[in-house]
Structure 1
Amino acid sequence: MENPKLPPILVNKAGSVYYVYTYKNVWDRELKRSKRGESKKIGKILGGQKDGVICFDESFLQERPEFRSFQVERKGKEYVFTPLNESGTTLTQLQEVKQLHAGATWALDQLVAQSPVGEALKWAFPQRRDYLKILSICYFIILNQDNNISKYETFAEVTRLPWGAPLAPSSISRVFRKIRNQQIETYFSVFRDELLEQQEKYGDKNEITLALDSTSGSNYVINNLLNLERHRYEDEDNLPLINLLALTEYESGIAFFYRAYDGKVPAAKTVSQVISENAGLSLKNVVFVSDKGYSDAKNINDCLRNKLGFLFNVQCAMPDSFAQELIDGEKENLRDLNRMDWLTKVFQITKEINWTFESDLVEGQVTSKKTKESTILYWHIYFNRQFAENARQGLIERIDRVREKIYNGEELDENELTLLEDVFEKHEEGDMISYTISNEKVDQKLRYKGYQMLVSDKISDARKAW
């Protein structure tokens, strides 16, 4: 392979770094001779010395892509070219690989090889072998407690990585800036297809369990990419908000799907949007597992209608809810020692309830017996006596602090004022104001502490659901 021709080069030191510049000579009419014109930075020398391997800037590599296939090293006034292989390493580096830390990255290589991640990355980011760069950066983030990206170069010098060539922080930023939504969709699409293919290959007929969660946050990073209205936080930050929803494959912990939604959309409704996209996701033989906040009737009905399995954590604190009705009906049974599971150490009962839903929801359609379908849902009710006792003890301690402050004439904070209103009775006699604890209000506040409820269309065993 013929070496590319270097442009005229200067090396100048700034701080502790030697930067590499190129320049063009211009004709000086007054002196009637050529002189050095304006210079342009094209990279830096790694290692902090004047001699060493040049890390070229991405802008230079875009203009002169032939330099991507070579390592260029400055030795005195000479520049040594060494061809790079597909992984961005030289033959010398391959011979010295035994001197690099490789145990942890070898283990990660095996995990990647056994999962669809590597193949999905390769399909989504084939240009300039970006998939190897992304994988190497991921290794760095996983293996370093302090994963400040400025420390990547030092890490890469002593660690065997999928991409062996150096990556400056600016190069890493460019790798991520180039990522487009279509590439992300390609990655997740290939990942899902590969996962389903693996399942079929090994004859695994179990459902794929997907952990589902979402979070709201400020979207200042992609403020210019999404057309979001601005909302105010309580601290008056005027920043746009998003809901980020993710599905994670339970066995591997690897992200299966994610989507950003407008911050005005409640978390529970984002699930409906994911379900409505099911045709594009090709989700088959899966079970959604989620924390509280997603178990409303609409999400349950949407899952049933789209034949998506689910295991939802149910809100038990909602006053006069169906969950509280079930708990009230089983309170005595949930204190029977025969109901305590020896493995989970909690009391548990499963209620099979016939659930009716619209099997084929059409806008404007009049509901009738013909449009409805029914199925059995498993409502698993749990009672943890220790949690209930801890909640009672904690409440009593908070009540005592309020009483002590009232006795000493001290000002109550916001939380204490709320507790004063929730569980105390106020008495006024002339100019005198006094407070007594309402045992009824305390009992009501503790009524559903220690209880948990899970609902599923698939999982009938309470222990397995837990």
Structure 2
Amino acid sequence: MAIVHQKDKRSGITYAYESTSYWVKELKQSRSKRVLIGRVDDVTGEIIPTDGRVRNKLVVEAKAEVLPKRSFYGATYLFDCIGKRLGITSALKTIFPQSYRQILSIVYFLLLEDRTALSRFAKWSHTHHHPFGKDIPSQRSSELFAAVEESHRQQFFSILKKRKVDGEYWAYDTTSISSYSQQLKQVKYGKNKEHDKLPQINLALVFGSTSQLPYYYRQLAGNIPDSKTLSPLLNDLRDAGYEKVSLVLDRGFYSKENIDALYKEHLKFLMSVSMGLKFLRNNLEPLYDGFRSFDHYNSAYELYHHSVRTTWDYEQVRPYKNDVISEERRIYIHYFFNIDKAAEDEKAFDLQLITLRDELESGKRVPEHEKQYTKYFTITSTPKRGTKAAVIPEAVAKAKRYHGFFALISNQKMDAIEALQLYRNKEVVEKAFNDLKDRLGMRRTLVSSQKSLEGKLFVQFIALIYVSYIKKKMQDGNLFSSYSIQSLLDTLDVIDCVQMPGKRLRCGELLEKQKVIYEKLGFSPPSSL
């Protein structure tokens, strides 16, 4: 039995019918019988009975629905509080006035049912108090995902900007998400960061280093390199109304075009860069011999550090004037040297040289290694002795000269240790990727349409905001010494409530440890409403 909507072309009114399918044995065909239920309200989608018999039936069903019900409430109450404090509930209500409760219920399910398929929602819904209060069939959840448009996503980002922390640096990074659905237009083979051999999409994420909350995400084709994603990010942030943004970036985002773009937008940045860059090595040379001096050693991080102020050759192409602006901009380079890293780098490099030599002398050359063969070896071949490879001492010494070094660049003045601390806070985005993939079920996508994928990512991004907020509060309240996220939610999830017809919701008993959890998370424990 199903509910079918049909629009009357003459009157423009949409009617709802109760459709029952049955099998006609003689014809070996299925048939359906429809019974009119009522008229569908164009605004609310509510079915308004037009027949007295059906109206009586609906009244009976409505009475059955409001029988006393006991359900789990403690964890979903916490999510209600978080959604209200962060403005997520009000934002979703503004953007999706007809379906925001369903979206929130799916988010709550993802948070509580760790790595559980959405097809299990019906069972969870039956036992939990949640915003929608009813089951959401798989077909309906797919429709919800497909209804999320790009305009909705941008509107949500614009609302989120109200909770931006002033002066906060944002960590920006990307990850790869493998997919079994090669028919999706953005699923491509690319550099998989988890070495998975499946095609993939890439996901870009912006995370606050102080608030430890996500502010932005963007889905990318699987073959797009990191360095090509920064310019679209800057455009999106500008469109969303974000101003005075400060970014922390990994070395994969380095390119001259990207640094010029950051200067053009007047954005602060801190970026890891490769020591192979010529301008980095040139600025290090005057410091090299005295780099490992006592007064530049930091015992907390067990490394040596120096900072250099220099200039960046900024260029801005102006197509409308058919010219290029060239000028110098101030930039700071923070150098670091770690003795243990130097030893590890040298060991790894020597092992690499041994592998390259063995490839040469065995005749099993690897095409991708040809430049390294030429750079580090003198190769001789004779009929009697075969091929012999001897290292070029000068080339090896030059490569080892920079082992143990790494560098950060920034257009904001700060000392080297402050820059290092700020950069290492970027790990919050790495942990967020793990939460998305492991806890929220995004390690591999199983959706079959592009629209469903985009909508599902949006819902999982919302769930990530809740997870990140809980983790931050647990860290602040030292709750990780006693709980994991899952065990904390499980501890609250056993709190139940009773909904009586015509009466306020009544909350069950709370243990003292449950009250302490709510208080450390910054909320009052639930009570009868």
- TM-score, normalised with respect to structure 1: 0.66
What does residue 274 of structure 2 align with? 315
Equivalent residue in structure 2 for 1:81, among 40, 47, 61 = 61
What does residue 86 of structure 2 align with? 115
Residues 284/402 of structure 1: CA separation in 2 closer, same or farther (3 Å cut): closer
What does residue 172 of structure 1 align with? 141
- 1:451 to partner: Cα distance: 2.0
Equivalent residue in structure 2 for 1:464, among 406, 418, 422 = 418
Equivalent residue in structure 2 for 1:38, among 28, 31, 41 = 31
Indicate the structure with greater helix content.
2
What does residue 22 of structure 1 align with? 19
Residues 457/335 of structure 1: CA separation in 2 closer, same or farther (3 Å cut): same
Instruction: Within 5 Å, give how 1:144-183 maps onto structure 2.
Output: 144-183=113-152
Q: Does the CA-based 8 Å contact 1:286-1:308 persist in structure 2?
A: yes
Q: Does the CA-based 8 Å contact 2:189-2:222 persist in structure 1?
A: no
The runs of 5 or more residues in structure 2 that have no matched partner are 5-17, 50-56, 193-197, 421-529
Corresponding position: 1:211 with 2:143: no
SS state of the match for residue 310, structure 1?
A: strand
Superimposed CA distance per residue, residues 63-96 of structure 1 (whole angstroms, 9 cap, x where no aligned partner): x943699xxxxxxx99952379xxxx95733xx2
Corresponding position: 1:395 with 2:349: yes
How far apart, CA to CA, are the structure 2 residues paired with 1:143 and 1:414? 50
Number of corresponding residues = 384
What does residue 348 of structure 1 align with? 305
Of structures 1 and 2, the one scoring higher in RCO (CA 8 A, sep 6+) is: 2
Instruction: Within 5 Å, give how 1:400-415 maps onto structure 2.
Output: none
What does residue 504 of structure 2 align with? none
What does residue 408 of structure 2 align with? 454
How far apart, CA to CA, are the structure 1 residues paired with 2:224 and 2:370? 32
What does residue 52 of structure 1 align with? none
Q: What percentage of aligned pairs have identical amino acids?
A: 21
- 1:435 to partner: Cα distance: 3.1
SS state of the match for residue 62, structure 2?
A: strand
Q: Does the CA-based 8 Å contact 2:190-2:199 persist in structure 1?
A: no
Q: Does the CA-based 8 Å contact 2:182-2:188 persist in structure 1?
A: no
What does residue 74 of structure 2 align with? 102
How far apart, CA to CA, are the structure 2 residues paired with 1:464 and 1:382? 12
- 1:351 to partner: Cα distance: 0.9
- 1:273 to partner: Cα distance: 3.1
Q: Does the CA-based 8 Å contact 2:126-2:134 persist in structure 1?
A: no
How far apart, CA to CA, are the structure 1 residues paired with 2:342 and 2:382? 37
Equivalent residue in structure 2 for 1:139, among 97, 108, 111 = 108
What does residue 249 of structure 1 align with? 208
> Please, what is the CA RMSD of the aligned residues?
4.7
Superimposed CA distance per residue, residues 139-160 of structure 1 (whole angstroms, 9 cap, x where no aligned partner): 3333444232223333333444
Which structure has the bigger radius of gyration? 1
Q: Does the CA-based 8 Å contact 1:101-1:158 persist in structure 2?
A: no
Equivalent residue in structure 2 for 1:282, among 213, 220, 241 = 241
Residues 91/313 of structure 1: CA separation in 2 closer, same or farther (3 Å cut): farther
- 1:166 to partner: Cα distance: 1.7
How far apart, CA to CA, are the structure 1 residues paired with 2:142 and 2:321? 50
Superimposed CA distance per residue, residues 249-284 of structure 1 (whole angstroms, 9 cap, x where no aligned partner): 333444323345667765323322333455422221
One-letter identity of the residue aligned with 2:407? M
- 1:138 to partner: Cα distance: 2.5
Instruction: Within 5 Å, give how 1:181-196 maps onto structure 2.
Output: 181-192=150-161, 194-196=162-164
The runs of 5 or more residues in structure 1 that have no matched partner are 1-5, 8-20, 31-35, 43-59, 70-76, 200-205
- 1:423 to partner: Cα distance: 4.0
Residues 330/119 of structure 1: CA separation in 2 closer, same or farther (3 Å cut): farther
What does residue 263 of structure 2 align with? 304
Superimposed CA distance per residue, residues 395-430 of structure 1 (whole angstroms, 9 cap, x where no aligned partner): 3345556778999x7968888998766644333233
Residues 231/246 of structure 1: CA separation in 2 closer, same or farther (3 Å cut): closer
Name which of structure 1's ranges 179-188 and 152-161 shifts more when overlaid on structure 2.
152-161
SS state of the match for residue 335, structure 1?
A: coil
Corresponding position: 1:92 with 2:92: no
SS state of the match for residue 154, structure 2?
A: helix
How far apart, CA to CA, are the structure 1 residues paired with 2:156 and 2:329? 36
Equivalent residue in structure 1 for 2:384, among 427, 431, 437 = 431
Residues 327/121 of structure 1: CA separation in 2 closer, same or farther (3 Å cut): farther
Superimposed CA distance per residue, residues 359-394 of structure 1 (whole angstroms, 9 cap, x where no aligned partner): 895643545xxx666543221111222112112123
One-letter identity of the residue aligned with 2:291? L
SS state of the match for residue 334, structure 1?
A: coil
How far apart, CA to CA, are the structure 2 residues paired with 1:406 and 1:307? 50
How far apart, CA to CA, are the structure 1 residues paired with 2:33 and 2:345? 67
